[in-house]
Structure 1
Amino acid sequence: MTPFDRSSYGHWTTMPTRWSDNDQFGHVNNAVHYSVMDTTINNWLKAHGFDVAAGGDTINLIPETGCRYLAEISYPDVFEIGLRSLAVGRTSVRWECALLRASDGEAVAIATSAHVFVDRQTRRPVPVPAGLRPALEALITGG
């Protein structure tokens, strides 16, 4: 196995699996991978000053997601999650998360999503918040 290139992701965090994450096949159900990605991204956004729960005029909607499953993970392992921006547009950002098994560093999934920033009331696209843009752009790494 070729070691995973962690340097391609500018932000790393961990998230433990839970007993309830395992399905009848004995591994973490695929829907959990999406939850891990969504939680990682939203925690990063909140840490960088964009918190939709704070009630601002701008929110972010997800028009697209995808996940390529590479290996299994099961409770009681821990996800290691690498996050990067693939592209930052005028009103959107494309994300990629690498999900690894902490027990051995094996990549278990590569998940992607897009966020479009919109007006909370009209749901029409608005520019990426100016204060957030530099942090999003700094998260773009090679890959």
Structure 2
Amino acid sequence: MADAQPAKYERREYFRWWTKIASRWADCDAYGHVNNATYYSWFDTALTTMAIERGILRAPGQTSIGLCVASGCEFLAPIGFPETVDVGARVGRIGTSSIRYELAIFAREEAPAAVCHFTHVYVHAQTRKGVALTAEQKAAIADLVG
């Protein structure tokens, strides 16, 4: 989510990686729509799937992990059950030891139902001391920078 771009103006074409997630009956709250906490769960599932696929997490020999140090979400439209949504992701910024991930959930509409961001700082898995991203990690997501 670019700082200059309000969340409601995000569009599908601004995102570079995609996955689908189906709502479950258990995801709905007393109002009949998916609970806000579930949106975060979907974002986390999509981000983790993308990071594993791309080799940012769980790559052979990797000693670093990404810890979430900041996140935010704007909830823009309800989602119900049954519904399958598209979750799009892009990389907003690659730093020396951090990555800002930006994601959006889209239902049937062109406008997003929710837009979020996560900043992960990479640390050594055992010591939790900050480490620089490797050239391989940066290259694995370079095409996702939006």
* TM-score range normalised by the length of the shorter chain: 0.7 to 0.9
Residue 6 of structure 1: aligned partner: 12
Q: CA deviation at 1:52?
A: 3.7
Taking the aligned partners of 1:11 and 1:92, their CA distance within structure 2 comes to 19
Q: CA deviation at 1:29?
A: 0.6
What's the RMSD between the two structures over aligned residues? 2.0
Residue 64 of structure 1: aligned partner: 70
Letter in 2 for 1:86: G
Q: CA deviation at 1:132?
A: 1.6
- Deviations along 1:83-124, one digit per CA (max 9) or x if unpaired, are 0000000000001111111x3444110011111110011111
SS of the residue 1:132 aligns to: helix
Identity %: 33
Letter in 1 for 2:144: L
How many residues are aligned here?
Answer: 139
Q: CA deviation at 1:41?
A: 0.9
Residue 112 of structure 1: aligned partner: 117
What is the TM-score with the length of structure 2 in the denominator?
A: 0.86
What is the TM-score with the length of structure 1 in the denominator?
A: 0.88
Distance 1:54 1:21, change over 3 A: farther
Taking the aligned partners of 2:145 and 2:55, their CA distance within structure 1 comes to 18
- Structure 1's consecutive aligned runs of 4 or more residues displaced over 4 angstroms after TM superposition are none
In structure 1, list runs of 5 or more residues that go unmatched. none
Whether 2:28 is the aligned partner of 1:28: answer: no
Is the contact made by 2:22 and 2:84 (CA closer than 8 Å) also made in structure 1?
yes
How does 1:33-52 map onto structure 2 within 5 Å?
Answer: 33-52=39-58
Whether 2:88 is the aligned partner of 1:88: answer: no
